[in-house]
A and B are shown apart, each in its own frame.
Chain A
């Protein structure tokens, strides 16, 4: 069996077997390959980096070169059961439109975001007076692709604004282990390094 990064494994667990999945920002296709092998999923991918796309196609995955901001609008409504956006929303130009697109083209969206409210991030800025670094935010301020960072609370606020239903929310600690804590509580916004959300459009 393929070994998978913990947060990706958590995402995979949210996907029903035999479903149609679009993985946006699929990198080297690890999640898609896992879903195809373990869950018999009909998977498609989208990836910005050409090296990533080529690696995916080389391994037999259906992946196109593209990005969430420009290419999601080309898909029809309800084309997929799940649209997955892992650790990418904060790097899009229009996160609000992207989140809308995800829930338009798929019945469910699975989105993971780094939590800018995580205590280490807050403390880093407070103590050093410099832009925070963490395992999920590894870049310097001048070369980071992460241009729209948010906290767990911010993300839930946007989901509410868009009329989305949070079907599942998993708060992950530094090791990618799920934390048994309510996503909409104070603790989650301090303690989770990232959140993984299963969302759908309210009917």
Chain B
């Protein structure tokens, strides 16, 4: 019998991660979370690209989105697919790894090596499951701060990220304004709207409704709530695309058939596509991580952390911001970016703001959008000149 098939999938993921030679920082000091709970120790799995210069002034921190990971610019150890921002990051590319030192770490609560609900709770010797404390965007950033400290970097040249990555960027730049020279929050918001929370709740309920979720302890039963997690992904995936893009891609086209079947098979291509998205997602993602990370984004509210005044989060900021939104993004629409821009204006912050015309929806930040890349390139080069990097 193939020994691989005897391994639980989470074990496979763990081994694949270790085999991918990703680096891991082990922090043997407690981390007090925003909830008040304390992690006695934790691990931060990360990838780096390029070289840190002697002045340690060329580091770019890339913050990944909800279901992203640290494999931003190299082959994913589980899927074997290229990294999620290989169009942007690499030698000679927009974020040129021959000039910049790029860092990307798996977020706290994640499932690719950083401490999260599927990792072993040292107190019990079992995976954490729902005993894992609730984490926030601020907690994710706190873990990244330890990593940046460990790498000996006082100030990041740039923090950049889309969606939930953009929230981390906002948190970094407001909690540590002296440690971020430039910040690029893309397709994001300063807080989750009721609609954002609502969609996440649908996903979480789908997972919890799966009997294989076992109250969060599926690992003890050697089960995985794959159907629930797949449905969560399918629902979320719809929010990443625009109606126009979905219709252009699939219309009402039928899948491998000439006529409708008068049944509940995937008659339509769009159904088949979503089922595929769900099925491939469960291969690489942990259901409990999905619960924890969606919760972290729901709890994000930068204004609430500053007495209800978002502008207070930015008061006196020396950080150069570039806020980017996409016209067809209805998950984090341009109006959310404008809220951030107006708050920065209110403190006379240094901010650029561009809205990119595209019908690709929220996912546009992951795609090769020429206007997006051109403006981002201009911003980063402008900042690099100010920072004396070019």
Residues of A within 8 A of B (CB): 20, 44, 50, 53-54, 56-66, 71, 74-76, 79-80
Interchain CB contact (< 8 A) of A54 among B320, B374, B382: B374
Interchain CB contact (< 8 A) of B353 among A60, A65, A79: A65
Residues of the B chain whose Cβ atoms lie less than 8 Å from the Cβ of A66: 341, 353
| B355 located at the interface, meaning its Cβ lies under 8 Å from any Cβ of chain A in the complex | yes
Chain A CB within 10 A, most for which of B323, B345, B382: B345
Residues of the A chain whose Cβ atoms lie less than 8 Å from the Cβ of B323: 64
The smallest beta-carbon distance between B296 and chain A, in angstroms, is: 29
Residues of the B chain whose Cβ atoms lie less than 8 Å from the Cβ of A57: 322, 352, 354, 375, 378-379
> When chains A and B are docked, how far (Å) is the Cα of A75 from the Cα of B351?
12
Residues of the A chain whose Cβ atoms lie less than 8 Å from the Cβ of B322: 57
Interchain CB contact (< 8 A) of A60 among B348, B351, B382: B382
Given the interface contacts A58-B374, A59-B378, A60-B385, does A65 sit within 8 Å of B354 by beta carbon? yes
Contact B374 A75 (CB under 8 A): no
> When chains A and B are docked, how far (Å) is the Cα of A65 from the Cα of B351?
10
Q: Mark B348-390, 1 if CB is under 8 A from A, else 0.
A: 1011111111000000000000010011011101110100000
Contact B348 A50 (CB under 8 A): no
Contact B353 A53 (CB under 8 A): yes
Residues of the B chain whose Cβ atoms lie less than 8 Å from the Cβ of A76: 346-348
Given the interface contacts A75-B348, A76-B347, does A64 sit within 8 Å of B353 by beta carbon? yes
Closest 7 CB pairs between A and B?
Answer: A60-B382, A58-B378, A79-B348, A64-B353, A74-B345, A74-B342, A57-B375
> When chains A and B are docked, how far (Å) is the Cα of A63 from the Cα of B354?
8
Residues of the B chain whose Cβ atoms lie less than 8 Å from the Cβ of A61: 352, 382
Contact B345 A75 (CB under 8 A): yes
Given the interface contacts A50-B357, A59-B382, does A64 sit within 8 Å of B350 by beta carbon? no
The smallest beta-carbon distance between B236 and chain A, in angstroms, is: 29
Chain B CB within 10 A, most for which of A65, A66, A79, A80: A65
Looking across the interface, which residue of chain B has its beta carbon closest to that of A42? B350
The smallest beta-carbon distance between B372 and chain A, in angstroms, is: 9
Residues of the A chain whose Cβ atoms lie less than 8 Å from the Cβ of B342: 71, 74
> When chains A and B are docked, how far (Å) is the Cα of A44 from the Cα of B364?
27
Residues of B within 8 A of A (CB): 320, 322-323, 341-342, 345-348, 350-357, 371, 374-375, 377-379, 381-383, 385
The smallest beta-carbon distance between B349 and chain A, in angstroms, is: 9
27 A–B contact pairs at CB < 8 A?
A20-B348, A44-B350, A50-B354, A53-B353, A54-B354, A54-B356, A54-B371, A54-B375, A56-B352, A57-B378, A58-B375, A58-B377, A59-B382, A60-B381, A60-B385, A61-B382, A62-B320, A62-B351, A63-B353, A64-B341, A65-B355, A66-B353, A71-B342, A74-B346, A76-B346, A76-B348, A79-B348
The smallest beta-carbon distance between A178 and chain B, in angstroms, is: 32
Chain B CB within 10 A, most for which of A50, A57, A63: A57
Residues of the A chain whose Cβ atoms lie less than 8 Å from the Cβ of B385: 60
> When chains A and B are docked, how far (Å) is the Cα of A184 from the Cα of B278?
72
> When chains A and B are docked, how far (Å) is the Cα of A74 from the Cα of B347?
9
> When chains A and B are docked, how far (Å) is the Cα of A56 from the Cα of B375?
8
Chain A CB within 10 A, most for which of B320, B341, B348: B348
Contact B357 A64 (CB under 8 A): no
Residues of the B chain whose Cβ atoms lie less than 8 Å from the Cβ of A79: 348
The smallest beta-carbon distance between B73 and chain A, in angstroms, is: 23
The smallest beta-carbon distance between A175 and chain B, in angstroms, is: 33
> When chains A and B are docked, how far (Å) is the Cα of A61 from the Cα of B354?
12
Residues of the A chain whose Cβ atoms lie less than 8 Å from the Cβ of B353: 53, 63-66
> When chains A and B are docked, how far (Å) is the Cα of A63 from the Cα of B324?
12
Interchain CB contact (< 8 A) of A53 among B345, B350, B354, B377: B354
Residues of the A chain whose Cβ atoms lie less than 8 Å from the Cβ of B346: 74-76
Contact B379 A50 (CB under 8 A): no
A58-B375, A74-B342, A80-B348 given. 13 additional CB < 8 A pairs?
A50-B357, A54-B354, A54-B356, A60-B385, A61-B352, A62-B320, A63-B352, A64-B341, A64-B345, A64-B352, A65-B353, A65-B354, A76-B348
> When chains A and B are docked, how far (Å) is the Cα of A185 from the Cα of B329?
54
Contact B351 A64 (CB under 8 A): yes
Looking across the interface, which residue of chain A has its beta carbon closest to that of B327? A50
Residues of the A chain whose Cβ atoms lie less than 8 Å from the Cβ of B382: 59-61
Looking across the interface, which residue of chain A has its beta carbon closest to that of B347? A76
The smallest beta-carbon distance between A76 and chain B, in angstroms, is: 6
